[in-house]
Amino acid sequence: DAKTTQPNSMESNEEEPVHLPCNHSTISGTDYIHWYRQLPSQGPEYVIHGLTSNVNNRMASLAIAEDRKSSTLILHRATLRDAAVYYCILRDAVQGAQKLVFGQGTRLTINP
């Protein structure tokens, strides 16, 4: 499984944008970039995924570098409920049922 690198922790203030970086220099052409988050005492929750183009949904935006070796999850206006561990994961698009391999993720703290 291709590896991703994320900062161990980040801190931001409520109602401000948050940019969570992820490096994946060994990404292959068929790897999707997935983001999941895990709130305290809950199971991981899907946030967003993309292949090459930037993606937006109701939760967040995903900005993917042109060379695909890095990506950034953007929370446009953080709330206290966004405090969680965020995981950046690569999944091979060819092997559709492939498991998710979780790293250590980034623990995001939101200050009121």
Partner 1 sequence: DSGVTQTPKHLITATGQRVTLRCSPRSGDLSVYWYQQSLDQGLQFLIQYYNGEERAKGNILERFSAQQFPDLHSELNLSSLELGDSALYFCASKGLYRNTIYFGEGSWLTVV
Positions touching partner 1 (CB under 8 A) are 32, 34, 38, 42-46, 49, 87, 91, 96-105
- Please give the helix or strand (H or E) that residue 111 lies within, else none: strand 106-111
Cα 17 from Cα 20, distance rounded (Å): 10
- Residue among 36 and 78 whose Cβ is closer to partner 1: 36
Residue 26 vs residues 33, 36, 47, 67, 106: alpha-carbon distances, Å: 12, 20, 22, 11, 20
CB of 97 to partner 1, least distance (A): 5
The residue (of 7 and 44) whose beta carbon lies closer to partner 1 is 44
Q: Which is nearer to partner 1, 18 or 48 (CB)?
A: 48
Q: How far is CA 88 from the centre of its chain?
A: 4
- In the complex, the smallest distance separating the C-beta of residue 82 from partner 1, rounded to whole angstroms, is 18
Least distance in angstroms from the C-beta of 16 to partner 1: 28
Rg (CA), the chain: 13
